Amino acid sequence: MEKKEINGHPHIRYQRPEISEADLKTKAESFFVEMNQRRTVREFDSRPVPLEVMENIIRTAGTAPSGAHKEPWTFCLISDPDIKRKIREAAEEEEKISYSHRMPEGWKADLKPLGTDWKKPFLEEAPYLIVVFKQSYGIHEGEKIQHYYVSESVGIACGFLIAAIHQAGLVTVTHTPSPMNFLSKILGRPENEKPFLLLPVGYAKNETYVPDLQRKALEEILVRY
């Protein structure tokens, strides 16, 4: 490995493998085709998923870039049925209030095509739940560590996580029960961690249907200069 000091800090040479323009095109296209197959799925098969698969998915999420490389994230992986039940009960309690009182009619109308309601059976049916926490600050040997761009960093890591889940052949739903401080309590997380996203992960149920959604066309999301 080629090493070099830059500004008094160790650096290593970084190189991507040589790639032809033709291969570049094929790879970019095939990754799009793969990612375009991803759909949010709310119905899970109870078939177990090997732990090492989940560990590698979380490893992948941990490769995301972060502000000043502070890696301000914690991924809680839950397979314990008692904890899953507690999370489901608490989430449904909040969601019941949200759907009946907190969400304006317009919001509920926007969700109609997705068919969501306060019931969250997937929180018990999926073999794993991943609860992502963002660390407002870090702690090392009792000292506070400044974190930067925490939401952006954790959001990007969640993107990597979702891509890794899909690439492995599994499915997920980005669930954000609101408020979600119950997750800190159930999982006993420290004060510097705030719940960010809850993702059930598993195989899609055998006969499952998802809304027939269309994605925006390239011309609607791309502005060329």
Short-list 188, 173, 178, 172, CA closest to 74: 188
For position 176 contacting ligand IYR by CB under 6 A, the verdict is yes
Among 175, 183, 193, 202, binds ligand IYR (CB under 6 A): 175
Sequence letter at residue 81: P
- Provide the CA 202 distance to its chain's centre, in angstroms: 13
Q: Considering the complex, what minimum distance in angstroms separates the CB of residue 22 from ligand IYR?
A: 39
The CA distance from 111 to 117, in Å, is: 9
Q: Which residue is nearest to ligand IYR (CB)?
A: 116
Q: Considering the complex, what minimum distance in angstroms separates the CB of residue 48 from ligand IYR?
A: 25
Short-list 80, 76, 83, 75, CA closest to 186: 83
**Residues 87 to 116: which contact ligand IYR by CB under 6 A?**
95, 111, 114, 116
Q: Considering the complex, what minimum distance in angstroms separates the CB of residue 174 from ligand IYR?
A: 8
Nearer residue to ligand IYR within complex by CB, 120 or 147: 120
Q: Considering the complex, what minimum distance in angstroms separates the CB of residue 195 from ligand IYR?
A: 13
Contacts with ligand IYR, 132-171, as mask; x by CB under 6 A: ----------------------------------------
Nearer residue to ligand IYR within complex by CB, 30 or 176: 176
Q: Considering the complex, what minimum distance in angstroms separates the CB of residue 114 from ligand IYR?
A: 6
Handedness of CA 202, 205, 211, 214 (dihedral sign): positive
- DSSP of 35-84: HTT------B------HHHHHHHHHHHTTS--GGG---EEEEEE--HHHH
Identify the bridge partners of residue 158 per DSSP, sorted by sequence position: none
Stretch that binds ligand IYR, among 54-62, 153-161, 176-184, 207-215 (CB under 6 A): 176-184
Please, are residues 139 and 192 in contact by the beta-carbon 8 Å criterion? yes
For position 28 contacting ligand IYR by CB under 6 A, the verdict is no
* Residue 68 backbone class (left: φ over 0; alpha: ψ -120 to 50; beta: rest): left
- # of chain residues touching ligand IYR (CB under 6 A): 8
DSSP state of 100: I
Nearer residue to ligand IYR within complex by CB, 178 or 181: 178
Residues that bind ligand IYR (CB under 6 A): 95, 111, 114, 116, 175-178
